[in-house]
Amino acid sequence: MNTEYVPWVEVKAKARRLDPRTDAERAAGKVAARERCDVYMRDTPKADVAPEGKDTGQSDNHLRPVEHSSPATHPSPGR
């Protein structure tokens, strides 16, 4: 495995050199890919997205910060 750092601009430059498409063709490909993604996202059911203002009954614990206790307040056994 190669762990040598390569700057991102060099990676992108190499990709452009190896890609036989013109800049216009690459740009058109990006637009087409974005449109396909938008259609997919629009047409995919969002089962876990509740309508605005609707209570899902699920806990919001994943939104609360984790409280870390210090060893002084919770000493380990044997101390």
pLDDT for 3 equals 81
Q: How far apart are CA 70 and CA 38, in angstroms?
A: 47
pTM for this prediction: 0.42
Q: Retrieve residue 48's tokens.
A: 């876990």
Statement: residue 54 has pLDDT above 90: no
Task: Tell which wins on pLDDT, 43 or 20.
Answer: 20
Mean predicted lDDT score pLDDT of the chain: 77
| Contact status, residue 29 vs residue 21, Cβ threshold 8 Å | yes
